[in-house]
Amino acid sequence: MPIVNRVADLQPEIQAWRRDIHQHPELLYDVHRTAAFVAERLKEFGCDEIVTGIGKTGVVGVIKGRKPANGGLKVIGLRADMDALPIEEETDLPYASKAPGKMHACGHDGHTAMLLGAARYLAETRNFGGTAVVIFQPAEEGGAGAAAMIKDGLMDRFGIEQVYGMHNGPGIPVGQFAIRTGAIMAATDAIDIKIEGVGGHAARPHKCIDSVLVGAQVIAGLQSIVSRTVDPLESAVISICEFHAGNARNVIPQTAELRGTIRTLTEEVRSLVEQRVREVVSGVAQMTGAKIDLVYERGYPVTVNHPAQTDVATRVAREIGGEGAVAETPPMMGAEDFSYMLEARPGAFIFCGNGNSAGLHHPAYNFNDEAIVYGTSYWIKLVENSLAA
Ligand code: NI
């Protein structure tokens, strides 16, 4: 019987977990209820080991196969994220968020439920040789929960040799997957620029250093980096999304503040852009006489899929969804902290179709329960194939 049919029996239960988690969204590391829910389920399933409190509120379950190890890969890690977003939910779902201002708008409720479903199945059947480690991390949405779990010894403590991640993909038909070798998601860096000019009367600009004009020059300079410095065949995004200055029509403001985000797909381009941002800012300061303070904060690294594991993931996804079920996706300029896990161990990150839902991080978004059988089956098959005795 195809794996999808067997998992279909578990679907109602997995869906119920998903909706329960959806009703109780929690942010960043503050995922205490969700983590407790996960740990309770893993205990019920009879996992060999359950460890909580890794990376503050992360949970890990260990499931040993009943077959002898095949002498190759012994331990595989499967990762889901548990945290929600600070968004007011705008759906009419009967199981909509009960926490004002918080919402599972990225489908991490579905990710957590599907990995629980796989854990349940794997703990029941144990039809593999070696060890499956299910990883439930906090703080994917900006808190680098994956890095916190790694820092707490995740990889070494459980002997994880390879690690896999999955995210739902709105716009990808249910039952289909999307993946690519190499960079699949971008590095994300944050910049904060504080400009101190000389304020004064709007009619006496010669006595001022106009922080608004300085800010405009900084932005124009920054926007020339992608078009004139970065190789046109490479990718980079610089978006300045905040510009705060002034509060009167006839006053040249003393200060201005800019904030933005930078996305790149290789370490080389990332370093090049950082260097140019620093040069542009100090150049504009020199040119205008303003004092400009730049804070350049490196965020999540590039998510880079390893070729061999991408092949494995692709084969598994085809087995689940059929021959035409896997599309090669172009890289996306969004970011993902699974990148830290792929820096630590070889592995691959795949998108699982969520159908025609609203986009991720949208107040009308909802994880598609129809996708549960495919995502859960993917995890199970990945373990059974990779740890085949
Ligand atoms: Ni997400």
CATH number, domain of 319, equals 3.40.630.10
Residue the block writes with tokens 């990945």: 382
How many domains are contained in the chain?
2
What's the 132 CA to ligand 1 centre distance in angstroms?
A: 23
**How confident is the model at residue 1, as a pLDDT?**
64
CB atoms within 10 A of CB 242: 10
**How confident is the model at residue 72, as a pLDDT?**
87
Task: Give the strand pairing for 131-137 and 75-81.
Answer: parallel
**How confident is the model at residue 5, as a pLDDT?**
85
Give the residues of the chain that fall short of pLDDT 70: 1, 389
**How confident is the model at residue 68, as a pLDDT?**
81
Between CA 108 and CA 246 the distance in angstroms is 40
**How confident is the model at residue 11, as a pLDDT?**
97
By annotation, the residues acting in catalysis are 83, 140
| 210 and 169 together in one domain | no
**How confident is the model at residue 71, as a pLDDT?**
77
| 108 and 43 together in one domain | yes
247: CATH:
3.30.70.360
Global pTM reads: 0.94
| 247 and 143 together in one domain | no
Contact 326, 314 (CB under 8 A): yes
What's the 283 CA to ligand 1 centre distance in angstroms?
A: 38
Range of the domain at 27: 2-185+302-386
| 173 and 193 together in one domain | no
Task: Give the strand pairing for 255-264 and 303-305.
Answer: unpaired
| 128 and 262 together in one domain | no
What's the 285 CA to ligand 1 centre distance in angstroms?
A: 38
Distances (CA, A) of 49 to 31, 43, 65, 343: 21, 8, 13, 25
Between CA 139 and CA 148 the distance in angstroms is 9
| 200 and 100 together in one domain | no
Q: Give per-residue pLDDT as tens, 269-295.
A: 999 999 999 999 999 999 999 999 999
Contact 189, 299 (CB under 8 A): yes
What's the 214 CA to ligand 1 centre distance in angstroms?
A: 36
